[in-house]
Structures are given as structure tokens and as C-alpha cells.
């Protein structure tokens, strides 16, 4: 996997461009936000997350979809249960993943963050294959964006407390951070 610094797109991953993005106001990337998603909830490998981020979700296929059909959201990346990575938005653009949010007193985290969705739920362990994919992707982002650091990686629940709970208690932060620090040092 390689991140093209000119386009903001990763090579050797699946690309599913989303229309749900816009230009970053300052071009800054200094925060990484980890999320979880599954559509329908707790069902995996359905292809519905991709359809949702591309505004192509058929809301008649499942009752849950009717309640989210009006949303226009995206993330930069999705890491599926098997470790496959899909990119929806260039890292140079603003994906619509964080919503109303604040990090260290700074509002509108979409303006300066990259969002990574892990296929999963708050209450089920993530798949082993997702962690090395997340570590590899995180390292690429740390190399490309000098304002991003290990201490500027958080969960959606950290920037939208009370509103969001993901990635949830089943995400192994210690495992993820140890793997990052093992070869990266304490950036």
C-alpha cells in the first residue's frame, strides 16, 4: 500500500469514490478518527456500507435503511473484516464522517481529520485481520501528514461524546497503539 501525496489516494486498495466530500478549508490533516460501521447493523460483508457512502443504498432492502436514507456521509477509508481496505475520499479532501465534533476545544473535526471506518459494532470484537491493515494505513498517514501523530488518534466517541460510541469497547486500543509504537517510535 502506498499513499500518493499528489492525489491523496492510496494505491493497491479498492477505490469507491463518494460524492459526499468537499474541500478542506486549510488543507490541514492533524487528526485520525477511528469509527465502526456495519449495514445492516451487526451484519458484515454485505456491500451496503459502500452503497451508503455512494448514496446508492436501496432503503427498501432493510427497515434500518429507511432511517438513514436521508444522510449524506462518507469516510476516507473502510477496513473490512478480512482486512481489505476501500477508499472513498482523497485524504486531501474533507470526508463527512465526524459530524458535530470537537478535539481539544477545536470544533468541526472533519476540517482537519481523516476518518477510518472499521467494519464492526460496539459490542463484537474486531477481526484479527483488521488490526494489521489499520496499522499499515495509519503508518502511511503518519508518514504523509507531519501534523498527525500517535497522540492525535482518537475514536469517534472521543470527539462526539454522548452522541457517538464508536469504535466501542471491543476495539483493542492497547493492541493498536502497541503495534504502531513497536516500529514507529513515539511520534
pLDDT tens per residue across span 26-64: 999 999 999 999 999 999 999 999 999 999 999 999 999
CB-based contacts of 55: which residues, under 8 Å, 6+ apart?
18, 19, 20, 72
Q: Does any domain span residue 75?
A: yes
pLDDT of the residue at 107: 97
Question: How confident is the model over 74-96, as pLDDT tens digits?
Answer: 999 999 999 999 999 999 999 99
92 within a domain of the structure (yes/no): yes
Note whether residue 48 is domain-resident. yes
**What's the pLDDT at 185?**
44
Task: Provide the number of structural domains found in the chain.
Answer: 1
82 is a domain residue: yes
pLDDT of 78: 98
Residues 6+ apart with CB under 8 A from 98: 33, 108, 109, 110, 113, 115, 156, 159, 160
Range of the domain at 174: 2-182
The pLDDT of residue 187 is above 50: no
108 burial class (0-12, 13-18, 19+ CB within 10 angstroms)?
Answer: middle
Beta-carbon contacts of residue 39 (< 8 Å; ≥ 6 apart):
46, 48, 49, 52, 57, 62, 64, 65
Which pLDDT belongs to residue 183? 63
pTM of the model: 0.96
> Domain of 75: which CATH number?
3.40.80.10
Domain-embedded: residue 165? yes
Catalytic residue list contains 119: no
Q: Is residue 187 part of a domain?
A: no
127-186 pLDDT per residue, tens: 999 999 999 999 999 999 999 999 999 999 999 999 999 999 999 999 999 999 886 443
pLDDT one-digit tens code per residue, 97-131: 999 999 999 999 999 999 999 999 999 999 999 99
Catalytic residue among 11, 28, 80, 117: 117
Amino acid at each position: 500500500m502506498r499513499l500518493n501525496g499528489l492525489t491523496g489516494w492510496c494505491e493497491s486498495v479498492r477505490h469507491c469514490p463518494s460524492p459526499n466530500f468537499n474541500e478542506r478549508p486549510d488543507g490541514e490533516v492533524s487528526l485520525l478518527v477511528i469509527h465502526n460501521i456495519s449495514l445492516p447493523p451487526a451484519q458484515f460483508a454485505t456491500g451496503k456500507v459502500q452503497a451508503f457512502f455512494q448514496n446508492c443504498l436501496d432503503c427498501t432492502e432493510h427497515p434500518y435503511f429507511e432511517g438513514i436514507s436521508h444522510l449524506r456521509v462518507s469516510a476516507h477509508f473502510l477496513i473490512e473484516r478480512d482486512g481489505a481496505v476501500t477508499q472513498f475520499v482523497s485524504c486531501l479532501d474533507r470526508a463527512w464522517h465526524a459530524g458535530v465534533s470537537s478535539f481539544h476545544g477545536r470544533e468541526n473535526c472533519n476540517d482537519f481529520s481523516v476518518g477510518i471506518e472499521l467494519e464492526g459494532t460496539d459490542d463484537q470484537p474486531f477481526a484479527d485481520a483488521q488490526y494489521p491493515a489499520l496499522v499499515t494505513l495509519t503508518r502511511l498517514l503518519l508518514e504523509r501528514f507531519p501534523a498527525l501523530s500517535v497522540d492525535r488518534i482518537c475514536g469517534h466517541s472521543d470527539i462526539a461524546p454522548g452522541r457517538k460510541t464508536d469504535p466501542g469497547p471491543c476495539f483493542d486500543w492497547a493492541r493498536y497503539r502497541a503495534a504502531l509504537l513497536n516500529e514507529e517510535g513515539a511520534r
